[in-house]
Amino acid sequence: MSLEQHTQLKKVAVLGGGSFGTVIANIMAEKGIPVHQWMRDANRADEVNTQHENTRYLPGYALSPALVATTDVESAVRDAAIIFVSIPSPSFRDVLRQAKPFVTSEQYVVSTTKGIESTGFHLMSEIIKDELPDVKVGVISGPNLAKEIAQHHLTATVIASEDEGVRALVQEALHQSYFRVYASSDTYGVELGGTLKNIYAIAAGLSAALGMGENTRSMLMTRSLAEMSRFAVSMGANPLTFLGLAGVGDLMVTCMSSLSRNYRVGYALGSGQSLQEAVDALGEVAEGVNTIKIVKEKSDEKEIYMPLVSGLYEVVFNGAPVKEVAGMLMTNEQSTDVEFVLPRDAV
Ligand SMILES: NC(=O)C1=CN([C@@H]2O[C@H](COP(=O)(O)OP(=O)(O)OC[C@H]3O[C@@H](n4cnc5c(N)ncnc54)[C@H](O)[C@@H]3O)[C@@H](O)[C@H]2O)C=CC1
Ligand SMILES: O=C(CO)COP(=O)(O)O
């Protein structure tokens, strides 16, 4: 479908009834675009349609009365110009398969999910291409705490796609007075940025719970950026993407806000809870927990130097004391600040 044909957005679909799916759907409903949000829970759909609230994931936030929720995936997806998929990574492929019989090659499919499929290291854009090889694909990512968007705090995101039409249409669909959408062609880098920062948000929550200071937090965030861009570049991403909203922008918000679920998991661990207790208390997805494991495995396999990931893995999954791990990181071999300026092996 050409861009001209798309410009009147007659219908958009959002798959997922959680906090992010709901705010993305609501942004478009508020500007008059017909939005069909698919969710599996019939009571929740009924609540969105009649009370205009999602009390499980966004309690206390009024939703647009124009937002239509449904449990029928066919009616949600059929004839939608864009299908946003906002489903946690472990279920992403399964939900795409449910939608697949009703999706045509003219539709655009855009992931909002910040995670990696555990078997085979697939990002969500790769799963879309795998399951729906004929559609055009995009991802959105950036510093986008759902509850702040629901309150209309000024926010920006990135639409990344190799296809100009996808980028333009998503900008048109999501742009709002409080929501600005920037474009990128580095799909893999933007997607990895959103995914990897969840790991470091857990580390930031841990260090906050242990009363570490602001110097520590700045060091942690900056070295996290160095580590995540090193990993992403070795996987084929553009390092400059990490200077943008989907890199440093998302890293900052997630490492600094207690609204981040990943940060909260880290904080709970640092306060003495077990991983199971921390995850159970959250009741929502914290993608970073699985991502630590998946990225640790991949970095070991590809021999990518990721001391923060290795240390965090020991803390989260093997019960290593944080202070001991932090001590080891501080006494590691000497290194360089920005390795794209002075390579690591130059010291
Ligand atoms: N909440 C946020 O602030 C942001 C979240 N994201 C990303 O968006 C993705 C979705 O996150 P949230 O909406 O926040 O998660 P959430 O935990 O709030 O909700 C997850 C939703 O997915 C549904 N779901 C899970 N498995 C399902 C299945 N098999 N079939 C049907 N529905 C299923 C749940 O019922 C729930 O409605 C995550 O990857 C997250 O990292 C991205 C930006 C911001
Ligand atoms: O990705 C997010 C903000 O950009 C949300 O982070 P959490 O999944 O940690 O809540």
Please tell me the distance from the alpha carbon of residue 71 to that of residue 171, in angstroms, as a whole number.
27
With a cut of 90, say whether residue 124 has pLDDT above it.
Answer: yes
* Predicted confidence (pLDDT) per residue in 228-276, tens digit: 999 999 999 999 999 999 999 999 999 999 999 999 999 999 999 999 9
CA 44, CA 155: separation in Å to the nearest integer?
27
Sign of torsion, CA 66 136 139 243? negative
Q: Using CA atoms, how far apart are residues 7 and 12, in angstroms rounded to an integer? A: 12
CA–CA dist 67, 169 (Å, integer) = 20
- Ligand 2 mutation pick, 260, 264, 267, 282, max ligand atoms within 8 A of CB: 260
pLDDT of 92 higher than 90 = yes
pLDDT digits (tens, 9 = 90+) for 8-47: 699 999 999 999 999 999 999 999 999 999 999 999 999 9
The model's pLDDT over 104-121, given as tens digits with 9 standing for 90+, comes to: 999 999 999 999 999 999
How far apart are the CA of 64 and the centre of ligand 2, in A? 23
Is residue 5 over pLDDT 90?
no
Q: Report the separation in Å between the CA atom of 17 and the middle of ligand 1, taken as the mean of its atom positions.
A: 7
Average pLDDT in the 178-185 region?
98
pLDDT surpasses 50 at 2: no
Chain-centre distance for alpha carbon 176:
20
Ligand 2 neighbourhood includes 88 CB (under 6 angstroms): no
Mean pLDDT of the chain: 95
Question: Which-ligand-closest: CA of 284?
Answer: 1
Residue 87 CB–ligand 1 contact under 6 Å: yes
Q: How far apart are CA 289 and CA 34, in angstroms?
A: 35
| Each residue's pLDDT tens digit, 195-235 | 999 999 999 999 999 999 999 999 999 999 999 999 999 99
* CA–CA gap between residue 110 and residue 185 (Å, rounded): 14
Nearest to 235 by CA among 302, 289, 314, 145: 302
Ligand 2 nearest-atom number relative to CA 287:
8
Q: Which helix (H) or strand (E) holds 182?
A: strand 179-184
Binding residues for substrate: 114, 261-262
The first and second tokens of residue 253, run together, are 């918000």
98 lines ligand 1 (CB under 6 A): no
pLDDT tens per residue, range 125-165: 999 999 999 999 999 999 999 999 999 999 999 999 999 99
Q: How far does the chain reach from its first CA to its final CA, in angstroms? A: 54
Q: Which residues are catalytic?
A: 197
| b/e per residue 165-204 (b: at least 16 CB within 10 A) | bbbbbbebbbebeebebbbbebbbbbbbbbbbbbbbbbbb
51 three-class SS: helix
All domains of the chain, ordered by start, with CATH? Answer: 12-185 (3.40.50.720), 192-331 (1.10.1040.10)
Give the H or E element holding residue 109. Answer: strand 108-111
- Res 83 pLDDT > 80: yes
- C-alpha 6 – ligand 2 centre gap (Å): 30
What is the Å distance from ligand 2's center to 254 Cα? 6
Q: Is the pLDDT of residue 4 over 70?
A: no
Predicted local distance difference test score (pLDDT) of residue 285: 85
145/154 Cα distance (integer angstroms): 11
The answer to whether residue 6 scores a pLDDT higher than 50 is: no
Ligand nearest to the CA of 112: 1
What value does the mean pLDDT take over residues 165-186? 98
Question: Does any ligand 2 atom lie closer than 6 A to the CB of residue 296?
Answer: no
Q: How far is 291 from 69, CA to CA, in rounded Å?
A: 30
Q: What is the pTM of this model?
A: 0.96
Q: Cα separation of 219 and 249, whole Å?
A: 16
User: Residue 108: what pLDDT?
Assistant: 98
pLDDT of residue 58: 96
Say if residues 185 and 168 touch (Cβ distance below 8 Å): no
| Ligand in nearest proximity to the CA of 156 | 2
pLDDT interval class at 3 (50, 70, 90): very low
pLDDT in tens, 313-332: 999 999 999 989 999 999 99
